[in-house]
Amino acid sequence: MTTQASDYLYTLHRTPFALAPVVHSFYRNWEPVEKDILLSYLILPIVTYTPMQSFLKNARRNSSVRTMTSNSKRLIGLAMRVEEFKPITNAALLILAAEKRLEITPELSVRSRRTPHAINSDKDLLRYSQKLAMVFSNENVVSIYRMLGLKSL
């Protein structure tokens, strides 16, 4: 089995150490609610998907999950991407908890304790995760999953 340079580049760009600040940036701009840890599994699949990035780049305070899902091309393959990013998200949450940057409460709510360590992170992904927190605000976790067409995690 031979590996190509593209495989190595993919691994380097998808490492939990590089993507943990993206998850942290979301929670830094999110008002904690019960069981919002489930939103962690949506952050990376959404902000790394190019068609969704164009929406997030132009998102405003009045943007919502409904406006985000108005174009079905943005949701193509979301369930598959959620499964693909699940191990990376788990590792990123463990890294952030070990660094004491995030706190996971008994109600499964996530709270940011310190500023994101964003030196080696993609600045665009950090901005997109902040905007995603703004888009998800005023919605509960179950309705977000329902509007995105996800039935399970």
Count Cα atoms within 13 angstroms, Cβ side, for 21: 16
Task: Identify each DSSP E strand in 2-146 by its residue range.
Answer: 102-104, 110-112
Residue 129 counted as domain residue? yes
Residue 153 counted as domain residue? no
Q: Which domain holds residue 44?
A: 5-147
Q: What's residue 14's pLDDT?
A: 75
Residue 112 counted as domain residue? yes
Residue 152 counted as domain residue? no
Q: What's residue 111's pLDDT?
A: 87
In terms of residues, how long is the chain? Answer: 153
Q: What's residue 13's pLDDT?
A: 65
User: In whole angstroms, how large is the CA radius of gyration of the chain?
Assistant: 15
Residue 20 counted as domain residue? yes
Residue 108 counted as domain residue? yes
Q: What's residue 11's pLDDT?
A: 63
Q: Which residues of the chain have pLDDT under 70?
A: 1-3, 6-13, 153
Q: What's residue 130's pLDDT?
A: 93
Number of domains in the chain: 1
